[in-house]
Structure 1
């Protein structure tokens, strides 16, 4: 019908990073979809399908539908971008919170009157090209007295723009509050203090001592405050001499400690304990969620006799595909052959 228009993106029920793309595909194909309903209604013979087509067509002719899809796209394109970034497995809690504050600042700019005026003007421009009704005020309905919070007279919007301005601000406030609640949890703050002890110390920020007080008090018995402070000063010198100062991160510091010999690592015993606490509590659960999603692809109905041990091995290989692809297949085959004498006669050497 329209080869020049982009394709339609289906709304995925599990992936939260394609919401804005799906809504944008509706907006870009709005007129094409309205024409499609008319053609589908003529071609369909089923009464239930025809009634559904009539309902969808009526919804798309309503201004509320266009307003909701447009507002959803404007909000979700920022939250989708934030969600996609937060799913990186090498992202630290401190970096995630900084990126979240940046996204909240962007949403805060959208809550200004100038932003709403631009958004309202763009909707009015779309009305000239689409078969959508003009925005109208609903019939005034007085709230029952049992629901009235006070004696003040009821307020009604004086124009359609005022009505949709209220809905515009309510949607933004709801999204901003949900994001804030997500990152203001007590457990996330504890994890943030653990990372800040390392990052602030290496970057020369003296406020890391406050984080040491919090961490040593929270993990009383696991971390010793005086030893941790002493080891951090030595570890700062080691990190600055062996790592690039501009690319210092928690993952690079963990890699530096893991490459040490056991004797050298004993010099930073408290830091090793601190890193273990960070590693057992990942800043994002995207990797574990992807593991559950891949379980359906690995454990199919054809593999009904697979044991739990074999399933665990396949899941490890599938989840950590980067390490799996880096394996030398010939070396693995030779190790398998050399395990038993009889295998050499059957498989030979690789």
Structure 2
């Protein structure tokens, strides 16, 4: 394989989007070279199992439907990976991560609306390099016994290959979009709860609006915030913030919550606005990412392994 392919081919990860992106891109960008390598193995290998497996893989990647799927998946993963990289930066703030996810959803929805001819044209250019006809072949559908409540003519048999593939890929887009929406709906709601705590909204909103949002937030964090004192602090902060911060007062109009928190501490105003500081600290420390799997190299796994080994040594 190294004779034809200059880059390393990676296995698709079940947990890391960036690893999926790297694996699919490596396969898509080196498809002609991989086909040549498999052809050589098929023709020259003395091991029957290797020849058989190479033949099956070659048949699979020489199928235009496979190339079309790979092309669409590479485009989806590219956008997801771009957002993933931005969200994992050290200086990312919560509102920025929510905006990135909103942009990702809009991008995926726009990709979903692309006509199938767009994807076929893009995949056709790759198929041409691999000497594959850019045509979706109609495969024979096995007949089965129908039940009494089914229609006489199966819907799938009446669809053309392009229509059938379009139906399948729309289901993929819908699933991805719905999963991203489900995972970040909570983040969007949290961001709305704290959205009034930035320079633009503090200066633009009326006192009544600020105090309403402040009271709502205090009810949700009643153990941390005093509703009465918080509303009073918002009233004073709105009127005096540009003056209290001196020369940088003009920047308050465009400041995010983390910047406001920094300025409060730099000017030693945390005792004057304790509840605002607490609210901004909560907002600034909200996690921007979540993980549903534990990586083998994660810090938690290392700690668990250390505790297990220490415990066994004590018992010995």
Do they superpose with TM above 0.5? yes
Maintained 8 Å contact 1:201/1:232? no
Match of 2:286 among 278, 281, 301: 281
Match of 1:102 in 2: 103
Moved more, 152-161 or 24-33: 152-161
User: How many pairs are equivalent?
Assistant: 297
Q: Distance in 2 between matches of 1:19 and 1:279?
A: 30
1:266 matched to 2:268? The reply is no
Residue aligned with 1:59, SS = helix
Q: Could you tell me whether the CA contact under 8 Å between 1:228 and 1:271 is conserved in 2?
A: yes
Do the aligned residues in 2 keep the contact of 1:6 with 1:28 (CA within 8 Å)? no
1-side partners of 2:3 and 2:230: how far apart?
A: 65
Q: Which residue of 1 aligns with 2:129?
A: 129
CA deviation map 1:211-232 (0-9, x unaligned): 3243122223432223212212
Matches within 5 A, 1:131-146: 131-132=131-132, 134-141=135-142, 145=146
Which structure 2 residues correspond to residues 246-265 of structure 1 after superposition, within 5 A?
248-261=255-268, 264-265=269-270
Query: What is the aligned partner in structure 2 of residue 310 from structure 1?
Result: none
2:233 is aligned to 231
Distance 1:280 1:20, change over 3 A: closer
8 A Cα contact 2:4 2:37, kept in partner: no
Shift of 1:50: 3.6
Report if aligned partners of 1:193, 1:214 keep a CA contact under 8 Å in 2: no
Q: What's the CA shift string for 1:243-267, capped at 9, x where partnerless? A: 6247522322222233354xx4221
- Output the CA distance in 2 between the equivalents of 1:30 and 1:271: 57
Partner SS, residue 182 of structure 1 = helix
Aligned to 1:337: none
Please say if residues 18 and 80 of structure 1, whose CA atoms lie closer than 8 Å, have aligned partners that are also in contact.
no
Q: Matches of 1:135 and 1:208 in 2, distance apart? A: 59
Partner SS, residue 139 of structure 1: coil
- Gapped regions of structure 1 (runs ≥ 5): 306-350
Equivalent residues of 1:137, 1:159 under 8 A apart? yes
Gapped runs of 5+ residues in structure 2?
A: 311-316
Q: Quick one: distance in 2 between partners of 1:85 and 1:57? A: 37
State the Cα deviation string for residues 19-51 of structure 1 (Å, max 9, x = none).
334322222211110011122345644444443
Is the CA contact 1:89–1:284 (under 8 Å) kept in the aligned structure 2? no
Which residues of 2 match residues 1-350 of structure 1 at below 5 A? 7-11=7-11, 13=13, 14-41=15-42, 44-114=45-115, 116-132=116-132, 134-141=135-142, 145=146, 154-156=154-156, 157-185=158-186, 188-189=187-188, 191-199=190-198, 201-202=201-202, 204-206=204-206, 208-236=210-238, 237-238=240-241, 241=246, 242=248, 244-245=251-252, 248-261=255-268, 264-285=269-290, 293=298
CA distance in 2, matches of 1:255, 1:164: 53
CA RMSD of aligned residues (A): 3.8
TM-score in terms of structure 2 length:
0.76
Say which SS state the counterpart of residue 17 (structure 2) adopts: coil
Q: Distance in 2 between matches of 1:285 and 1:254?
A: 25
Given the two structures, how large is their TM-score scaled by the length of structure 1?
A: 0.69
